[in-house]
Chains A and B, each alone.
Chain A
Amino acid sequence: MMQTTVDEALVKVSGVDKIFKRGSEVIHVLGGLDLEIPTGEFLALMGPSGSGKSTLLNLVGGLDRPSEGSVEVGGHRIDRLPGRKLAAWRARHVGLVFQFYNLMPVLTAQKNVELPLLLTSLSRAERKKRAALALDIVGLTHRAGHYPRQLSGGEQQRTGIARAIVTDPTLLLCDEPTGDLDRKAGDEVLELLQALNREQGKTIIMVTHDQHAAERASRTLYLNKGQLSTEPVD
């Protein structure tokens, strides 16, 4: 577990710039951005396409590095960690939920959920037990032996969430988790995320386009042209 208290900010983004280069063109995605997220918060990040929502999520999750500034999670400067240590840090502390689920098509739901546990020293029996527990939390025990192609979109996303929580991470990062689902399946996923936040104290950052989804979060921030605000962008 990361060393934080409830009052302390779990995530601290300070003065972050992110620049992408496309040929000779330089694109400023984030400019001098500051953000603090306390432990146990369910934050929704909204904003138009290309506003930098996913970029910010990737920086907090250690999937990308800032061009300037610092990203601290649980008191660690993750932007300074070398590649292998950063990968190990992600495996221990971050659960990722993707818009298109990103499940391995050749693995069953159970095996997909077990995947992050392969990076631990847990025994096979213990891995199986924990994966079963995660699938139980998302209500998919009966689908454990099914392959992703045999699951509905909602079930695939719930499998993705089970995979994200199986290592008991402090931070859950969800990139458009309902973006590929119909309203009913989306609601089920959002209820699950709310429950994880409320009952298990998971800190969640969710990127979404959907105001309805954002309403499930405890706080919503809007990102536009690389800047954060508490008010929606016109």
Chain B
Amino acid sequence: MFNWFSQILAVTRFSLRSLPQRKGSSAAAMFGITGVVAVMVGVLSIAQGVLRTMQNSAVDENAIVLRSGAETEMMSVLSGDDTRIIAEASGIARNDLGALASPEMFVVINLPMRTTGTDANVPLRGIERQAMDVRDRFQLTQGRMFEWGINEVIVGVGANNQYSGLEVGSSIPVGQEQWPVVGIFEAGGGLAESEIWVDSAVLKPAFRRGNFYQSVFVKLNSPDSFEDFKDSLTSDPRLNVKPMREAAYYDSQSTTLYNMITGLGTLIAVIMGLGAIFGALNTMYTAVSSRTREIATLRALGFSSGPVIISVITESLLLAFFGGLIGAGLAWLAFDGFRTATLSWSSFSAITFAFDVNMRLLAQGIFFAMVIGLVGGLFPAIRAARQPIAHALREQ
């Protein structure tokens, strides 16, 4: 066994030492794999970014209440009476102002994207005073809070980055009026950063809404209070509502988009990967072909086929590994943290997010590169080991 390993080591060592003689074709295969991994990691980092934004939106002790049957805030309608009954449910935390329950309106307005100038659906959320205490990661970073009862808005930092005309001091068109932007806020990297917030008391008349809301966000005493809270709402005959933990709600909101981007990214990666496999195959067949006599000499001297196969595969895997590493590194440099916006298929409004090139994705990219390298090296390796020695020794 020792002998076999020492054979592998020896054959692999001078297989790798002869790499500079094949640097052109080796570099072509390696950079082919670099491209595949960079694109794959880049596309999948979009899905990771969306997922992270949704995950950042959720707080363990928070819940959202929609009308029963509604999947999104856009589809939900709750009357003012409903929201008052919901605020009285058991399990909700309280502060000086009362129950930490925030009835909220959700409408969409059109604003131009900074990059293209084309209009996008931007969420405009009408809130009440408890909203900031329910979302305890809310923080104003520029300007000031809007005055209650006045047509002023504050803008999430993501929305500010993506759309034109949302700087503090500018104003946005709402119906026939222009509402001044008075502040910019962060919300822990969550979905709220894609939104514009305004007092719901001024939003209702502007959109000719009666005393209706889309949702109620609540902060519970603890994450364990949710079942209590849920039971008290679902058992109340006056209500027809669906309470959900925030995490479950945001998870359901991101599933379609996440699956679509991941599916697309995987499809692109597989198609490009097939091309890269042919590149690797070509390179390794060339490598084996250029080393035919060398490999045959080793086998003639008594080296067995196994180490020859392993040495060819090792070379291919090493090329793939470095190709993958460079591709993953390029993707990380080019995409990680890059902010953009996409349409949420559930709310039909834009969400802003940052591409997220995380360690798991980098590892996935390098693993995919290694699969390409393995397949690309396997067949040439088998060919190298199967060539009749006597014939191969005469190759030039």
Contacts and interface: CB of A to CB of B under 8 A. Distances in A.
B10 A102 contact: no
B2 interface: yes
A118 B17 contact: no
B207 interface: no
Contacts of B17: 106
B234 interface: no
A39 to B, nearest CB: 21
A116 interface: yes
Contact of A58 (B293, B299, B390): B390
Interface string B30-42: 0000000000000
A116 B393 CA distance: 17
Contacts of B297: 98, 102, 104
A92 B305 CA distance: 17
B302 A105 contact: no
Interface string A93-124: 00010101010111100000001101111000
Given A92-B302, A104-B294, A119-B302, 10 more contacts: A54-B390, A63-B390, A64-B390, A84-B305, A87-B304, A90-B301, A116-B302, A118-B10, A119-B3, A119-B301
A116 to B, nearest CB: 5
Interface string A149-186: 00000000000000100000000000000000000000
A96 B300 contact: yes
A89 B300 CA distance: 11
A119 B7 contact: yes
A96 B389 CA distance: 13
18 contacts: A55-B390, A63-B300, A63-B389, A63-B390, A63-B393, A84-B305, A87-B299, A87-B304, A89-B302, A102-B297, A105-B18, A105-B21, A107-B14, A116-B301, A118-B6, A119-B3, A119-B7, A119-B301
Given A102-B293, A106-B18, A116-B302, A64 B389 contact: yes
A88 interface: yes
A115 B294 CA distance: 12
A139 interface: no
Nearest to A163: B301
A184 B369 CA distance: 54
B388 interface: yes
Contacts of B303: 87, 91, 119
Nearest to A103: B297
Nearest to B306: A84
Contacts of A87: 299, 302-305
B305 A83 contact: yes
B223 to A, nearest CB: 63
Interface of B: 2-3, 6-7, 10, 14, 17-18, 21, 293-294, 297-305, 388-390, 393-394
Contacts of B6: 118
Contacts of A64: 388-390
A148 to B, nearest CB: 11
Contacts of A104: 14, 294, 297
Given A121-B2, A121-B3, A96 B301 contact: yes
B302 A90 contact: yes
B396 to A, nearest CB: 8
Contacts of A107: 14
A105 B18 CA distance: 8
A91 B307 CA distance: 15
Residue among B3, B293, B297 facing the most chain A CB atoms (10 A cut-off): B297
Contacts of A61: 300
A120 B303 CA distance: 11
A192 to B, nearest CB: 19
A84 B299 CA distance: 10
A125 to B, nearest CB: 15
B390 A91 contact: no
Contacts of B294: 102, 104-105
Contacts of B2: 121
Nearest to A115: B301
A108 B40 CA distance: 43
Contacts of B293: 100, 102
B74 to A, nearest CB: 67
Nearest to A91: B302
Given A87-B302, A119-B3, A119-B303, A102 B14 contact: no
A78 to B, nearest CB: 13
A89 B302 CA distance: 7
Residue among B6, B14, B302, B394 facing the most chain A CB atoms (10 A cut-off): B302
A118 B7 contact: yes
Nearest to B20: A106
Given A104-B294, A107-B14, A84 B389 contact: no
